[in-house]
Amino acid sequence: MQDPKDGTQLFVSSPLALTDHTTSRSSALENHLLGSISFGMGRPNTNLNVPCQHIHAAALHLSEHIGAENWLSSSPLRKIEDASANCHGNQDILWGVIELPESLGIQDGTPPLDHSARAAYQQLFGILDRHHYPYLWRAWNYMPDITGITHGQERYQQFNAGRQKGFAASARAVTGNVPAACAIGVHGGPLSIAFLAGRKPTIALENPRQISAYNYPDQYGALRPTFSRASLATLHRQELLLLSGTASILGHATTHIGDVAQQTQETLRNIQAVLDQANLHTQSSTAYQLHDLQLRAYVRHAKDIDVVRRIVNSNMKSNAQVLYLNADICRQDLDIEIEGIAWKTIAPASNP
């Protein structure tokens, strides 16, 4: 595919545009396939020998069968053998999926999701340490019943507590230079965490319109969320922008409660504000724009899909690749959350 001295470049195929690789195995593809994401309420339809994350949520607005989102690397990958998870990586990046069932009942006063999140993040950082990928770039967190309350605590707060403890126990910062992430409620399955890590640090970006999530006030939980608004990562000849889940939040408060159209517009303004930050740091000669992003949108109520699509499409180019999933946002009063990725070719780093 390319000369290895050029280093890794990553390409993410939209599930909406792609030939279906989930049913046909090809070793040439598998050598370059970092990982794969599938979605839907049924069982994942994949026999690929790479880490796959299945999102238990229905795709909205799609009538025909669609494939998976595939992350392809220009330089070949190998399986990273680790007892904790199935991972794939090369000299630059590592991708894997950790899935943990929630242990039953309270353990030492700790609710099950708190316990599982802590265990999962300790496993994740253990893998990064053992295989020498020190930097977590992005995590995709999915869990059932995210806004439910058990053991006297909201489950998203349980997750936040366990995640933060997992970071701290692994000697990772819980403020400042933290990875991009999303935390989404799905309709079944275990706690599922996909991760992308690298050998080089990223720039963690924040949104001036929002308080950093790791500084949210106590009303959202004593142990705060551990994520940044975006990660800007550099590969040898490529820059990758990994935008976290973004919602209709100003400061720390949800805005436009009950109005999905306004929430969608506010979310897009927040995304633009993060892009503006990325553009202060990019090594590319061109700025990141909304229509450069390949988007994944989580829509709480299926009935809202037409309103959301109309607004998103009016801000994107006509060939926009947006995957809409019917899933729960972590706050009861949020009806929409949108995340995205974009990449640009840059001049090669001078010291590879």
Which residues are the active-site residues?
A: 337
Give just the sign of the alpha carbon dihedral 95, 136, 209, 328: positive
Site string for ligand 3EB, 220-259 (x = CB under 6 A): -----x-x----------------xx-x-x----------
Q: How many angstroms separate the CA atoms of 316 and 314, rounded?
A: 6
C-beta of residue 67 within 8 angstroms of C-beta of residue 22: yes
DSSP per residue, 11-72? EEE-TTT----SS---HHHHHHEEEEEEESSS------SS-EEEE-SEESS--S----EEEE
What gap in Å lies between CA 149 and CA 165, rounded to an integer?
20
**By C-beta, is 322 or 330 nearer to ligand 3EB?**
330
Closest approach of Cβ 183 to ligand 3EB, in Å? 4
308 lies in the site for ligand 3EB, by CB under 6 A: no
Give the Cα-Cα-Cα angle 69, 73, 76 (nearest 5 degrees): 130
Chain positions 204 to 223 lying near ligand 3EB, rule: CB under 6 A, are: 213
Shortest spacing between CB 227 and ligand 3EB, in angstroms: 4
Number of residues binding to ligand 3EB, judged by CB under 6 A: 12
**Sign of the Cα pseudo-torsion (3, 139, 50, 115, in order):** positive
Non-local (6+) Cβ contacts of 334 within 8 A are 247, 248, 249, 254, 263, 300
The distance of closest approach from Cβ of residue 182 to ligand 3EB in the complex, given in angstroms and rounded to an integer, is 5
Residues 325 and 41: beta-carbon distance below 8 Å = no
| CB of 198 vs ligand 3EB, minimal distance in Å | 19
* Closer to ligand 3EB by Cβ: residue 72 or 161: 161
Q: How far is the CB of 228 from ligand 3EB (least distance, A)?
A: 9
Amino acid at 63: S
Q: Which of 127, 183, 186, 243 binds ligand 3EB (CB under 6 A)?
A: 183
Residue 213 one-letter amino acid: A
Closer to ligand 3EB by Cβ: residue 89 or 225:
225
Residues 329, 246: Cα–Cα separation, whole Å:
10
Residue 216 Cβ vs ligand 3EB, minimum distance, rounded to whole Å: 7
Q: Select from 227, 261, 224, 228 the least CA-distant residue to 336.
A: 261
Q: Nearer to ligand 3EB by C-beta: 200 or 220? A: 220
Q: Which is nearer to ligand 3EB, 70 or 141 (CB)?
A: 141
Q: Does 181 bind ligand 3EB (CB under 6 A)?
A: yes
Q: Does 297 bind ligand 3EB (CB under 6 A)?
A: no
Q: Does 72 bind ligand 3EB (CB under 6 A)?
A: no
Q: Is 157 in the site for ligand 3EB (CB under 6 A)?
A: no
Site residues (vs ligand 3EB, CB under 6 A) = 141, 181-183, 213, 225, 227, 244-245, 247, 249, 330
